[in-house]
Amino acid sequence: MQDFHQGTVAIVIPCFNEPATIATVIRDFRCVLPEASIIAFDNNSTDDTARVAREAGTEGIDVTLQGKGNVVRRMFADVEADVYVMVDGDATYDASVAPALIGKLVEERLDMVVGSRVADEQSAYRLGHRLGNLMLMQYVATSFGRTFKDMLSGDRIFSRRYAKSFPDHASGFETETKSTVHALCIRMPVAELPTRYISRPEGSESKLNTYRDGFRILMTILKLVKNEKPFAFFTVGFTICALLSIPVFRTYMETGLVPRVPTALLSTALMLLGPILMFRGLVLDTLTRGQIEVKRLVYLVIPAPQKRERA
């Protein structure tokens, strides 16, 4: 019979002001993964979250830099494991699906498995968040060729080689976006499995701000496209410059006159700027390909999760 993991499994829980839910999360995951180590990463909570986590019997690590991205970076740096189970500390994710997520990662030698949220309650997964998630997914699919059904899920399973090769510079909730794009850029084997998503219990409050965090995630995607797909990004700039210059050029071809000198000067500047943007895109594209190759080589140094035979 095959075991579903080899070596160690670490359950890492980012948490900020979650005294009403953190003990429940720890208890539920201990029930389904009794041999896994559980580490709660407290991000400057102003209440009893850290104490409640310790009393629930888990190891606690304090992260002083505020923001989920800073917590995730610390998790991957400090924790040594073969498989990482990352789940939010708000008790909205179903712990019972964790063994299936790990099993899929190990059986298929994947590097990331995302628990895509399926909510029966409207209040659990609000319409605004659904629409924002859909827009982000379509944007990433257009830019990178493929995406996930739920790229903002906080329930994820990572291989060791993912965790130790992820150059995360995000500071806030945009870290999920960056982790998704990182996997797509170097073409990691990834997958999704549906997981039940429920409302927060009474007394627990969401830290998400739909508009603020949605804007930050969108800006992160734009930066990632610029960094990972610079030729496409700067080609858009070249195209805009060329289109804005066409009317003046057409007027000159038809009449032989330039009726508005300032407009002509602006069009000339735009036509000069366009090729500069194109050239910059070409140069950065060459550099980016080299960086992706380096990321891929670092990633390949670490072996994939392996199944083991039970005695």
Domain membership flag for residue 304 = no
In angstroms, the CA 21 to CA 53 distance is 10
Q: Are residues 90 and 154 in the same domain?
A: yes
In angstroms, the CA 46 to CA 53 distance is 14
Domain that holds residue 156: 9-227
pLDDT at 215: 76
Q: Are residues 205 and 73 in the same domain?
A: yes
Q: Are residues 234 and 213 in the same domain?
A: no
pLDDT at 205: 65
**Burial of 56 per CB tally in 10 Å (0-12, 13-18, 19+):** middle
**Measuring CA to CA, which residue among 189, 10, 162 is closest to residue 107?**
189
Tens-digit pLDDT profile for residues 128-137: 566 667 777 7
H or E segment and range at residue 280 = helix 261-301
Q: Is the dihedral of CA 221, 226, 231, 233 positive or negative?
A: positive
In the chain, the percentage of residues whose pLDDT exceeds 90 is 34
User: Parallel, antiparallel, or unpaired for β 83-86 and 9-15?
Assistant: parallel
Total domains present in the chain: 2
**Encoding tokens for residue 50?**
């850290």
Helix axes of 68-78 and 175-185: crossing angle, nearest 10 degrees = 50
What's the helix, strand, coil split of the chain in %, to 5?
Answer: 50, 15, 35
Q: Are residues 70 and 192 in the same domain?
A: yes
- Name the domain boundary from 227, 259, 276: 227
Q: Residue 23: which pLDDT band, with cuts at 50, 70 and 90? A: very high
- Name the domain boundary from 227, 262, 279: 227
The residue-averaged pLDDT of 97-112 equals 93
Report whether 56 contacts 23 (CB < 8 A).
Answer: yes
Q: Are residues 147 and 22 in the same domain?
A: yes
In angstroms, the CA 77 to CA 81 distance is 11
Q: Is residue 239 over pLDDT 60?
A: yes
**Encoding tokens for residue 131?**
């629409």
**Domain with 120 in it: what CATH number?**
3.90.550.10
SS3 305: coil
DSSP string, 164-221: TT------STTHHHHHHHHHHHTT--EEEEEEEE-PPPTT------HHHHHHHHHHHH
pLDDT at 62: 92
pLDDT at 203: 61
Q: Is residue 182 over pLDDT 50?
A: yes
Q: Residue 88: which pLDDT band, with cuts at 50, 70 and 90? A: very high
Q: Are residues 148 and 291 in the same domain?
A: no
Q: Are residues 172 and 236 in the same domain?
A: no
Q: Which stretch, 103-107, 254-258, 266-270, has highest mean pLDDT?
A: 103-107
